[in-house]
Protein backbone atom coordinates (compact mmCIF):
# COMPACT_ATOMS: atom_id res chain seq x y z
CA UNK A 1 0.00 0.00 0.00
CA UNK A 2 1.25 3.49 -0.86
CA UNK A 3 -0.11 6.45 1.10
CA UNK A 4 0.33 10.21 0.79
CA UNK A 5 2.56 12.42 2.93
CA UNK A 6 1.25 14.61 5.75
CA UNK A 7 2.76 17.88 7.03
CA UNK A 8 4.16 15.92 10.00
CA UNK A 9 5.77 13.44 7.60
CA UNK A 10 7.41 16.32 5.70
CA UNK A 11 8.81 17.80 8.93
CA UNK A 12 10.44 14.46 9.83
CA UNK A 13 11.75 14.10 6.27
CA UNK A 14 13.28 17.58 6.40
CA UNK A 15 15.29 16.42 9.42
CA UNK A 16 16.40 13.33 7.45
CA UNK A 17 17.68 15.61 4.69
CA UNK A 18 19.57 17.62 7.34
CA UNK A 19 21.15 14.37 8.60
CA UNK A 20 22.06 13.48 4.99
CA UNK A 21 23.77 16.87 4.63
CA UNK A 22 25.63 16.28 7.90
CA UNK A 23 26.82 12.89 6.59
CA UNK A 24 28.07 14.45 3.37
CA UNK A 25 29.90 17.18 5.24
CA UNK A 26 31.57 14.49 7.35
CA UNK A 27 32.80 12.52 4.30
CA UNK A 28 30.01 9.93 4.25
CA UNK A 29 27.27 9.45 1.66
CA UNK A 30 24.27 11.80 1.93
CA UNK A 31 21.61 9.63 3.53
CA UNK A 32 19.84 10.23 6.85
CA UNK A 33 17.00 8.41 8.65
CA UNK A 34 14.78 8.64 11.72
CA UNK A 35 12.74 6.20 13.79
CA UNK A 36 9.55 7.77 15.14
CA UNK A 37 7.27 6.07 17.66
CA UNK A 38 3.48 5.79 17.48
CA UNK A 39 3.11 8.94 19.61
CA UNK A 40 5.28 10.99 17.24
CA UNK A 41 8.41 10.92 19.44
CA UNK A 42 11.77 10.62 17.71
CA UNK A 43 13.30 7.41 19.13
CA UNK A 44 16.53 7.10 17.17
CA UNK A 45 18.30 8.95 14.36
CA UNK A 46 21.32 8.06 12.28
CA UNK A 47 22.99 8.83 9.01
CA UNK A 48 25.21 7.02 6.56
CA UNK A 49 28.64 6.05 7.96
CA UNK A 50 30.40 4.23 5.10
CA UNK A 51 33.55 6.35 5.00
CA UNK A 52 35.24 3.97 7.46
CA UNK A 53 35.22 1.29 4.75
CA UNK A 54 32.09 -0.71 5.72
CA UNK A 55 29.59 -0.14 2.91
CA UNK A 56 26.78 -1.71 4.96
CA UNK A 57 26.74 1.17 7.48
CA UNK A 58 23.37 2.50 6.29
CA UNK A 59 21.15 4.39 8.76
CA UNK A 60 18.09 2.28 7.97
CA UNK A 61 20.02 -0.87 8.92
CA UNK A 62 21.18 0.82 12.16
CA UNK A 63 17.53 1.67 12.90
CA UNK A 64 16.43 -1.94 12.40
CA UNK A 65 19.10 -3.18 14.81
CA UNK A 66 18.32 -0.47 17.36
CA UNK A 67 14.60 -1.29 17.18
CA UNK A 68 15.25 -5.01 17.66
CA UNK A 69 17.30 -4.26 20.80
CA UNK A 70 15.08 -1.59 22.36
CA UNK A 71 11.45 -1.97 21.25
CA UNK A 72 8.79 -4.62 21.74
CA UNK A 73 7.32 -6.21 18.61
CA UNK A 74 4.18 -4.10 19.14
CA UNK A 75 6.18 -0.87 19.41
CA UNK A 76 8.15 -1.75 16.27
CA UNK A 77 5.00 -2.42 14.26
CA UNK A 78 3.56 0.97 15.21
CA UNK A 79 6.80 2.92 14.58
CA UNK A 80 7.54 4.79 11.34
CA UNK A 81 10.92 5.04 9.63
CA UNK A 82 11.61 8.29 7.80
CA UNK A 83 14.50 8.42 5.39
CA UNK A 84 16.05 10.81 2.89
CA UNK A 85 16.41 8.01 0.31
CA UNK A 86 14.29 4.87 -0.09
CA UNK A 87 15.68 1.78 1.64
CA UNK A 88 18.06 -0.40 -0.39
CA UNK A 89 17.16 -4.13 -0.54
CA UNK A 90 19.47 -4.88 2.44
CA UNK A 91 17.76 -2.31 4.63
CA UNK A 92 14.25 -3.11 3.40
CA UNK A 93 14.88 -6.74 4.37
CA UNK A 94 16.24 -5.76 7.80
CA UNK A 95 13.21 -3.49 8.35
CA UNK A 96 10.82 -6.32 7.52
CA UNK A 97 12.70 -8.98 9.52
CA UNK A 98 12.50 -6.92 12.73
CA UNK A 99 8.82 -6.09 12.12
CA UNK A 100 8.98 -2.31 11.78
CA UNK A 101 6.00 -0.37 10.43
CA UNK A 102 5.47 2.33 7.81
CA UNK A 103 8.32 3.80 5.74
CA UNK A 104 8.27 7.37 4.41
CA UNK A 105 11.02 8.46 2.03
CA UNK A 106 11.93 11.85 0.54
CA UNK A 107 13.40 10.38 -2.64
CA UNK A 108 12.96 6.98 -4.26
CA UNK A 109 15.53 4.43 -5.41
CA UNK A 110 14.17 4.89 -8.94
CA UNK A 111 14.97 8.62 -8.71
CA UNK A 112 18.53 7.94 -7.53
CA UNK A 113 19.02 5.49 -10.39
CA UNK A 114 17.79 8.04 -12.93
CA UNK A 115 20.03 10.77 -11.48
CA UNK A 116 23.10 8.51 -11.73
CA UNK A 117 22.18 7.69 -15.33
CA UNK A 118 21.72 11.41 -16.16
CA UNK A 119 25.14 12.14 -14.68
CA UNK A 120 26.73 9.32 -16.70
CA UNK A 121 27.65 7.41 -13.54
CA UNK A 122 27.45 3.63 -13.05
CA UNK A 123 24.70 2.06 -10.96
CA UNK A 124 25.63 0.66 -7.54
CA UNK A 125 26.38 -3.03 -6.90
CA UNK A 126 22.87 -3.78 -5.55
CA UNK A 127 19.72 -3.64 -7.71
CA UNK A 128 17.62 -0.56 -6.84
CA UNK A 129 14.47 -2.57 -6.16
CA UNK A 130 11.49 -0.81 -4.56
CA UNK A 131 10.88 -1.55 -0.86
CA UNK A 132 7.63 -3.32 -1.67
CA UNK A 133 9.38 -5.77 -3.99
CA UNK A 134 11.51 -6.85 -1.02
CA UNK A 135 8.91 -6.41 1.75
CA UNK A 136 5.38 -6.49 0.23
CA UNK A 137 3.62 -5.99 3.56
CA UNK A 138 5.19 -2.63 4.38
CA UNK A 139 3.14 0.56 3.94
CA UNK A 140 5.24 3.19 2.15
CA UNK A 141 4.89 6.87 1.21
CA UNK A 142 7.06 9.04 -0.99
CA UNK A 143 8.77 10.59 -2.79
CA UNK A 144 8.22 14.29 -2.01
CA UNK A 145 8.85 16.71 -4.91
CA UNK A 146 10.52 19.50 -2.96
CA UNK A 147 12.58 17.35 -0.59
CA UNK A 148 13.68 14.97 -3.35
CA UNK A 149 15.08 17.99 -5.22
CA UNK A 150 17.16 18.77 -2.11
CA UNK A 151 18.33 15.16 -1.96
CA UNK A 152 19.25 15.31 -5.64
CA UNK A 153 21.42 18.36 -4.96
CA UNK A 154 23.19 16.53 -2.10
CA UNK A 155 23.73 13.42 -4.23
CA UNK A 156 25.17 15.62 -6.98
CA UNK A 157 27.49 17.36 -4.51
CA UNK A 158 28.64 13.97 -3.20
CA UNK A 159 29.80 13.12 -6.71
CA UNK A 160 31.27 16.47 -7.63
CA UNK A 161 28.44 17.21 -10.07
CA UNK A 162 27.10 20.74 -10.48
CA UNK A 163 23.40 19.89 -10.01
CA UNK A 164 22.18 23.21 -11.42
CA UNK A 165 23.92 22.49 -14.72
CA UNK A 166 22.98 18.83 -14.87
CA UNK A 167 19.21 19.20 -14.98
Give the contacts of 165 (CB within 8 A, at least 6 positions apart).
Answer: none
Q: 125 burial class (0-12, 13-18, 19+ CB within 10 angstroms)?
A: exposed
Report the length, in residues, of the chain.
167
Give me the least distance between CB of 89 and Zn ion, in Å please: 8
- 9 vs 60, which CB is nearer to Zn ion? 60
Please report whether residue 64 would count as binding Zn ion according to CB under 5 A.
Answer: no
Please report whether residue 95 would count as binding Zn ion according to CB under 5 A.
Answer: no
Give me the least distance between CB of 167 and Zn ion, in Å please: 26
Give me the least distance between CB of 162 and Zn ion, in Å please: 27
- 120 vs 136, which CB is nearer to Zn ion? 136
DSSP 128-145: ---HHHH-TT--EE---H
Please report whether residue 91 would count as binding Zn ion according to CB under 5 A.
Answer: yes
Give the interface segment with Zn ion, choosing from 13-21, 87-95, 106-114, 151-159 (CB under 5 A).
87-95
Residue choice 88, 104, 135, 151 for contact with Zn ion (CB under 5 A):
88
Please tell me the distance from the alpha carbon of residue 65 to that of residue 6, in angstroms, as a whole number: 27
DSSP label at 35?
Answer: E
Please give the residue ranges that form the binding site for Zn ion (CB under 5 A). 58, 88, 90-91
Amino acid sequence: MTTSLTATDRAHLARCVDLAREALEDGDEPFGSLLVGADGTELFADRNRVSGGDATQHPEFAIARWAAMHLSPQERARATVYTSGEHCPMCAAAHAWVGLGRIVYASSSAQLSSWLAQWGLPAGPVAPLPIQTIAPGIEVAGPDDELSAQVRALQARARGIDSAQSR
